[in-house]
């Protein structure tokens, strides 16, 4: 068991000595959890195969699940990737730093353990002062998946990282809650048209405004398990974001969804189950049974996204046996929210 150092860091003005300490750990081949604008990441030197292997061990992550490489300067793209399409400059100009990951052909310096054995590399520049300070301080790109045990809801608070990884990693930089709450959008730019592999903080609509045509991988919008031999992006192949409790997602028109959830909740309560209902502000008052939590208003999808993983973890802490979640509209950020809800539920979906 490792001695995990937990350092409180100012999210706006990260203390140089704390960043220096964490950066030294990265340089020496250690693991540091740090905040980004999306979720907390678990970082290691992306070009050190031994260090990256330790990420897989700490997270208990399948080794064919690629890891996103985080950088602090756009020049790094041309060191880590080859045959970079011209469209990438426009995307970088518009969305970086920010929640957009680009999948590109990997250069020879990127270890296969970082790419999940593929010839592509996923790269992004995070929009968080602590993350950028850490990358600059380490003076190397940082490979970082979400800082949780593989398969569990992603961490949006340092407390979530502590719950999952304390004693398994070297340090945690705690800068409070993350802003977006769902992971970055992963866009494959090695194909034409570019393809969304995982929806996230940058929306399909925003990408279309810059690129024109953008396709979506079937796995990103699936309502059931899809066989994928080689996943180019995290979040495609394995069960992700899942609470300990069994979970159902009810999709459809809101009044029908509420009626269905009430019936399901009654059924499970009669069977002696402890029921959690993941509702929205518009429906909270309709439920008078089980433990009810609101993700936020349907008119404020950024808030819904920010709350989602935290609430799934809260239901686990309260020991519910089953979580019944309302679906939301699939436009804009709703695409990413529904992707996470469906995968968290293991595709246990009821359409009404």
* pLDDT of res. 62: 84
* pLDDT of res. 37: 98
Closest listed residue to residue 75, CA positions, set 66, 87, 84: 84
* pLDDT of res. 222: 82
CA distance 126 to 149: 21
* Residue 100: CATH number of its domain: 3.90.870.10
Residue range 183-202: mean pLDDT, rounded = 97
Q: Do residues 195 and 279 share a domain?
A: no
* pLDDT of res. 229: 60
Q: Do residues 200 and 92 share a domain?
A: yes
The percent of residues above 70 in pLDDT, for the chain, comes to: 96
Q: Categorize the per-residue pLDDT at 237 as very low, low, confident or very high, splitting at 50, 70 and 90.
A: low
Q: Categorize the per-residue pLDDT at 233 as very low, low, confident or very high, splitting at 50, 70 and 90.
A: low
In this structure, are residues 243 and 313 in contact, taking their beta carbons and an 8 Å threshold?
Answer: yes
Closest listed residue to residue 85, CA positions, set 62, 72, 100, 102: 102
Residue range 287-309: mean pLDDT, rounded = 97
Query: In this model, does residue 38 exceed pLDDT 60?
Result: yes
Q: What range does the domain containing 182 cover?
A: 5-220
Residue 304 counted as domain residue:
yes
Q: Do residues 254 and 138 share a domain?
A: no
Q: What is the DSSP letter of 285?
A: G
Residue 232 counted as domain residue:
no
Residue 230 counted as domain residue:
no
In our burial notation (b when 16+ CB lie closer than 10 A, e otherwise), range 325-335 reads bbbbebeebbb
Q: What is the 3-state secondary structure (H, E, C) of 64-110?
A: CCCCCEECCCCHHHHHHEECCCCHHHHHHHHHCCCCEEEEEEECCCC
* pLDDT of res. 138: 98
Q: Do residues 186 and 274 share a domain?
A: no
Closest listed residue to residue 343, CA positions, set 199, 202, 216, 242: 242
Query: Tokens standing for 51?
Result: 């260090």
Query: In this model, does residue 238 exceed pLDDT 60?
Result: no
Query: In this model, does residue 228 exceed pLDDT 70?
Result: no
- What confidence tens digit (pLDDT) does each residue in 104-118 have? 999 999 999 999 999
Q: Do residues 216 and 326 share a domain?
A: no
Q: Is 332 helix (H, G, I), strand (E, B) or coil?
A: coil
Q: Categorize the per-residue pLDDT at 344 as very low, low, confident or very high, splitting at 50, 70 and 90.
A: very high
Residues 6+ apart with CB under 8 A from 252: 260, 327, 351, 352
Residue 240 counted as domain residue:
no
Query: Tokens standing for 215?
Result: 């396709």
Q: Do residues 20 and 144 share a domain?
A: yes
Query: In this model, does residue 230 exceed pLDDT 70?
Result: no
Q: Do residues 305 and 342 share a domain?
A: yes
Q: Do residues 124 and 257 share a domain?
A: no
pTM: 0.95
- What confidence tens digit (pLDDT) does each residue in 156-190 have? 999 999 999 999 999 999 999 999 999 999 999 99
Q: Do residues 263 and 306 share a domain?
A: yes
Q: Which of 220, 255, 275 corresponds to the end of one domain?
A: 220
Residue range 120-129: mean pLDDT, rounded = 98
Beta bridge partners of 173: 7
In this structure, are residues 338 and 326 in contact, taking their beta carbons and an 8 Å threshold?
Answer: no
Residue 231 counted as domain residue:
no
Q: Do residues 174 and 251 share a domain?
A: no
Q: Do residues 82 and 36 share a domain?
A: yes
Q: Categorize the per-residue pLDDT at 219 as very low, low, confident or very high, splitting at 50, 70 and 90.
A: confident
- What confidence tens digit (pLDDT) does each residue in 241-251 have? 899 999 999 99
Q: Which of 156, 186, 220 corresponds to the end of one domain?
A: 220
Q: Do residues 215 and 271 share a domain?
A: no
Residue range 41-58: mean pLDDT, rounded = 98
- What confidence tens digit (pLDDT) does each residue in 50-97 have? 999 999 999 998 888 899 999 999 999 999 999 999 999 999 999 999
Residue 156 counted as domain residue:
yes
Domain count, the chain: 2
Query: In this model, does residue 227 exceed pLDDT 80?
Result: no
Residue 61 counted as domain residue:
yes
* Residue 271: CATH number of its domain: 3.40.50.11030
* pLDDT of res. 124: 98
Residue 9 counted as domain residue:
yes
Question: Exposed/middle/buried for 244, CB within 10 Å: 0-12, 13-18, 19+?
Answer: middle
């Amino acid at each position: 068991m490792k001695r995990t150092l937990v350092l409180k860091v100012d999210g706006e003005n990260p203390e140089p000595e704390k960043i220096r300490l964490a950066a030294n750990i990265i340089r020496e081949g250690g693991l540091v959890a740090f905040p980004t604008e999306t979720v907390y990441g678990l970082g290691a030197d992306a070009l050190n195969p031994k260090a990256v292997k330790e990420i897989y061990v700490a997270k208990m992550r399948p080794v064919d699940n690629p890891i996103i490489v985080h950088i602090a300067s756009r020049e790094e793209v041309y060191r880590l990737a080859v045959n970079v399409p011209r469209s990438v400059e426009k995307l970088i100009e518009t969305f970086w730093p920010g929640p957009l990951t680009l999948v590109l052909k990997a250069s020879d310096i990127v270890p296969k353990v970082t790419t999940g054995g593929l010839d592509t590399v996923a790269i992004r520049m995070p929009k968080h002062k602590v993350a950028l300070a850490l990358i600059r301080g380490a003076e190397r790109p940082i490979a970082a998946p979400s800082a949780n045990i593989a398969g569990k809801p992603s961490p949006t608070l340092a407390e979530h990282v502590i719950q999952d990884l304390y004693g398994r990693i070297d340090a945690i930089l705690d800068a409070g809650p993350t802003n977006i709450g769902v992971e970055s959008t992963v866009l494959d730019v090695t194909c034409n048209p570019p393809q969304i592999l995982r929806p996230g903080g940058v929306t399909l609509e925003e990408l279309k405004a810059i690129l024109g045509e953008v396709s979506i991988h079937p796995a990103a919008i699936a309502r059931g398990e899809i066989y994928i031999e080689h996943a180019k992006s995290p979040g495609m192949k394995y069960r992700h974001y899942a609470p300990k409790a069994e979970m159902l997602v009810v999709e459809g028109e809101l009044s029908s969804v509420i009626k269905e959830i009430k019936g399901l909740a009654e059924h499970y309560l009669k069977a002696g189950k402890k029921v959690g209902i993941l509702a929205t502000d518009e429906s909270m008052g309709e439920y008078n049974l089980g433990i009810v939590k609101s993700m936020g208003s349907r008119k404020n999808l950024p808030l819904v996204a920010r709350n989602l993983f935290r609430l799934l973890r809260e239901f686990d802490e309260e020991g519910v046996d089953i979580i019944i979640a309302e679906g939301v509209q699939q436009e804009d950020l709703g695409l990413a929210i529904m992707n996470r809800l469906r995968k968290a539920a293991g595709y246990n979906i009821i359409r009404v």
